[in-house]
Amino acid sequence: MGLRSCQNSVLGCSGMSVFRSRSSARPEWDSISELHHSLARLSDTGRTSCGFETSETGLGCCGGDRKRAVGWRRSHCGGVMPASQLTAVRSIRTDDVAPTDRLEYWEHYNAEALVGLRCGTYSVEGLVAQESNFEIDDLKLAHIDGNPHIIERTPDLVRNHPKESIFATLLMEGSGFFYHPEGCLPVHAGDVIVYDTLHPYLFAFGSDMRQLLIDVPRQTMQQQFGRSDIDRPIVSSAQSATVQALTGALFGPEGGGSAPRIEIEKSSALVEFIATMAGLANDLGAIRQQQALSFIAANISNPELSAADVASALGVTLRHLNRSMAQAGTSVSRTIREERLDRAILALQTTVNKSISDIAAEWGFSSHAQLSTLVRRHYDLTPSEVRDHPGPLRFVRESR
């Protein structure tokens, strides 16, 4: 669908006059922390249709009930987690160039920072927009706000300038229509739309807009979930649990009255939430179990490995990870303990030049006595008897 036909379609779909001129300039954000400080200054009366609380300069998260939002974040984000301020790696303001040059200026910038696209607007001011770009591990984030406009990734751009990514856009303010080869999707403030950059699309904003875009490399999705193709865009509403979880991971918990900040430790959680919305992660609990088991197996020789270390490595809270492990009838601590015991049993049966105390210390047990207690509980044998036992051991009972 061409640019002009889409603009006409937006007029028909929305039933309102679109592309109104922008009434006021928005401030420039130099860091995510500064952005979120503004987002945290919420008005008691301002509220969008999706339940987000708003002020003149910002927008809250996790729904309209502020106390409920804070409580949700504390329970789902594990309390006050360490967060790090992100500084923009690059930024752009169209006000820096003449109105007649702004579209080309914006297209050139985004071709390097995000993806090749075409842009258009009917505003008499031309395009009035700004963008700040951030990086978390291998993810890229872009905070964008602007007046009514359209962006289009045409079939020619897809062919000639391929982009191997999955995009997830949290529309924080405004509304729009997302056109794709199979139809048109309305997107409202608070919604998240997930789409594949290898498919053409057109995103039309009929009012002033603000969004946070997450760029997930296709390779990251493929490695974590074994899948990465999204046949058609998917919109998840602001009220869905996954969108609220994504928003909580993005904005973090509030503690001590400070403004929420994006948590670098949660980058993997962002990918999981996006994959869930896209239908790439059908069983997130099973995925987390496998990730935990792999990490524990790879790091079990570290005598200080703890359940909290495993959760941190996976980018989730220990409460969430234990909830996933409970589906398999276990916990993170118990899994670590049993993996240590398995390694110690193998060492007892295959090495003769190490004492039982040395083996206990090597595999993270606090003492010979602790190892002996677990061996007896599981196999009704002492470590010395295990060492002398021919063949496989008979499992007696599980650890508690």
pLDDT at 320: 85
Three-state secondary structure call for residue 89:
coil
**pLDDT confidence of residue 290:** 74
pLDDT at 151 over 50: yes
Length of the chain, please?
400
Of the two residues 239 and 216, the one the predictor is more confident about is 216
- Check pLDDT > 70 for residue 58: no
Q: Identify the band that residue 252 occupies on the pLDDT scale cut at 50, 70 and 90.
A: low
Query: What pLDDT was estimated at residue 312?
Result: 86
* 253 pLDDT higher than 70: no
pLDDT of 175 over the 90 cut: yes
Is there a contact between 243 and 190 (Cβ–Cβ < 8 Å)? Answer: yes
Q: What number is the average pLDDT over the span 276-295?
A: 77
Mean pLDDT of 357-370: 88
Give the pLDDT mean for 379-394: 80
pLDDT at 172: 92
Identify the three-state secondary structure at position 361.
Answer: helix
Q: What is the pLDDT of residue 266?
A: 61
- For the chain, percent of residues with pLDDT exceeding 90: 38
pLDDT, greater one: 319 or 391: 319
The Cα-based distances of 138 to 196, 199, 268 in angstroms read: 17, 22, 10
pLDDT at 2: 42
Of residues 36 and 210, which shows the higher confidence score? 210
Mean pLDDT of 203-231: 91
- pLDDT for residue 227: 82
Sketch out the chain's domains with CATH numbers: 3-277 (2.60.120.10), 283-400 (1.10.10.60)
DSSP designation for 256: T
How high is the mean pLDDT of the chain?
75
The span from the CA of 55 to the CA of 20, in Å, is: 20
Report the range of poorest mean pLDDT among 239-243, 279-283, 351-355: 279-283
Residue 397 has pLDDT above 90, yes or no: no
Query: For the whole prediction, is pTM greater than 0.75?
Result: no
Neighbours of 261 (CB within 10 A): 24
CB-based contacts of 95: which residues, under 8 Å, 6+ apart? Answer: 25, 128, 130
Compute the distance between CA of residue 118 and CA of residue 269 in angstroms, rounded to an integer: 31
Calculate mean pLDDT across residues 126-135.
94
Q: Across residues 188-207, what is the average pLDDT?
A: 96
pLDDT in tens, 90-115: 999 999 999 999 999 999 999 999 99
209-217 sheet: strands from edge to edge: 90-93, 129-136, 139-146, 209-217, 165-173, 192-196, 234-236
Rounded to an integer, the average pLDDT of 204-232 is 91
Q: What is the pLDDT of residue 5?
A: 40
The answer, yes or no, to whether residue 62 has pLDDT greater than 80, is no
Using CA atoms, how far residue 193 sits from 91, 170, 339, in Å, is: 23, 7, 41
Q: How confident is the model at residue 198 (pLDDT cuts 50, 70, 90)?
A: very high
Residue with the larger pLDDT of the pair 362 and 397: 362
106 vs 64 pLDDT, higher one: 106
Confidence of residue 398 (pLDDT cuts 50, 70, 90): low
